[in-house]
Amino acid sequence: MYFYIILEKGLVRNMLQFELKKIFLKPVNKVLLVLLLVITLIGSFLAIRDVKYYRGDEPVLSGPLAARQLKKEQKKWEGPVTEDVLRRVIQENQAINASAETEDIGFAQKQGFADLQDLICAAFSEPGEYEPYLCDTISPDKAAKLYERRISRLKKEVSEVEEGRTGAFSQKQQDFLIHQYESLETPLYYEYAEGWKALLDSQYLPTLMIITIVIIGFFVSGIFSDEFQTRADAIFFSTKFGRNKAIFAKIKAGFLTITVLYWFVMLLFSAVILGVLGIGGAGCMIQINYSNWESMYNVTYFQEWLICMFGGYIGNLFILTFAMFVSAKSRSAVLSIAIPFVLSCVPMFLGRVPMLTDFMSYFPDMLLRINKFIGDFVFCEIGGKVFGIYSALVPCYLVLSFGLLPVMYYCYKKR
């Protein structure tokens, strides 16, 4: 009996290896694998190149060279952003304005505290607007009230939209938001964080996620349907394990492919960017960057990275297991190859239709764009309590992904 169990284990591992072989020996998949690697590297290269350092009249530096200069400049401003610091930002700004020969030169000189300036602009502009020259006119004492302004502006904003109109907040949502805002620990800590900004505050990450999902879609959508495509199904289903363990092996192979490729791409992307630009700023709250200033998620850059990666993984897992399920059910790879593309792109466009925005925020593509939505007010309500949408999406799609596995199994087994 014991011997038999060991034997079966060996067989199961064998089957899994062969299933993986089936996937990765396909010529088109080999090409796609290389393509995925190249795209990941190009993506990280582009994200790194987006870091700029301006030198007045001289050419702009970009990439690691720019990062090094920025780090030097920003070092002077490192530390908690207190009222004093905020006053100094405005004073320094005005001093440079007075002394710099040209605007370009002035701009170059302000790079050490430009992030803090942006923050002040974001906070004191009218909601939905951004006045880039606000720091030139604001008084230092007013700027010092940055954190109070954040909360007061929110309160004004949420109460102004009339109940029942689009964009209106329910009382529960208002309470939740204000609570989140008030529990943000201030003063925020500032330090050089170009690595995390390049990684998380850019369009590259969600784009890379979509490309990854579409390419992995090619790998997994053939797992079930290829048996029929190649007409190998007759033999497959007439073998002892053809209606049980061999199907398990297929599901496992799909799961492994999704998991390994996703994490490979994401970790490579992150490692290259952080490796070149540095991991400094991991502990800064994301609100320190003006694009996340309004975020209701009180997390650090490192936590945001974890959320994006894990959430993205769940999104990938769900969309791709769904594609596998379609492949098992329809026995055609064509339909299932289209699924990742449709599920990761179409809701994004439909979401722009105001009527559909709320509905579309429950789609799994939201998980691929966490870093884009982390600054937005997207809620869900569970058991009368309001949460950020991701508190619902992540567990929900995790359960759905695993729930699909047995369904897939029985669909395929039944033929």
Instruction: Tell me which residues touch other proteins (CB under 8 A).
Output: 7-8, 10-11, 14-15, 18, 21-22, 25-27, 226, 230-246, 415
CB nearer to other proteins: pick between 99 and 230: 230
Our CB check for other proteins shows the closer of 9 and 179 to be 9
- Show the tokens assigned to 231: 């007409």
Give the nearer residue to other proteins in terms of CB position, either 22 or 331: 22
Dihedral sign (CA 341, 343, 347, 350): positive
Min CB(79)–other proteins separation in Å: 59
Q: Using DSSP, state whether 58 is helix, strand or coil.
A: strand
What b/e string do you get for 100-129 counting C-beta neighbours within 10 Å, with b at 16 or more?
beeeebbebbbbbbbbbbbbbbbbbeeeee
Residue 308 has phi, psi (to 5 degrees) of: -60, -45
Nearest approach, Cβ of residue 16 and other proteins (Å) = 9
- Return the number of the residue (246 or 389) whose C-beta is nearest other proteins: 246
- Shortest spacing between CB 303 and other proteins, in angstroms: 43
For residues 28 and 42, which CB has a smaller minimum distance to other proteins in the complex? 28
Minimum distance from residue 215 beta carbon to other proteins (Å): 19
* Closest CB 337 distance from other proteins, rounded Å: 18
Q: What's the closest the beta carbon of residue 408 comes to other proteins, in angstroms?
A: 18
For other proteins, the closer of residues 92 and 226 by Cβ is: 226
Q: Which token pair is 203?
A: 């369009």
Closest distance of CB 23 from other proteins, Å: 10
**Cβ-based nearer residue to other proteins, 104 or 233:** 233
Record the tokens describing residue 190, joined without a space: 């500032």
How far apart are CB 42 and other proteins at their closest, in Å? 28
Please say whether the dihedral angle defined by the alpha carbons of residues 160, 162, 163 and 167, taken in this order, is positive or negative: negative
For residue 80, the cross-strand partners are 189
55 vs 243 by CB, closer to other proteins: 243
Q: Which long-range contacts (CB under 8 A, 24 or more apart) does 347-355 make?
A: 354/166
> For the range 84-87, what are the long-range contacts, defined as Cβ-Cβ under 8 Å and sequence gap of 24 or more?
84/144, 85/116, 85/187, 85/190, 86/116, 86/120, 86/140, 86/143, 86/144, 86/146, 87/140, 87/141, 87/143, 87/144
Q: Residue 112's closest CA among 173, 192, 47?
A: 192
- Beta-carbon contacts of 326 under 8 Å, excluding residues fewer than 6 positions away, are 221, 335, 336, 339
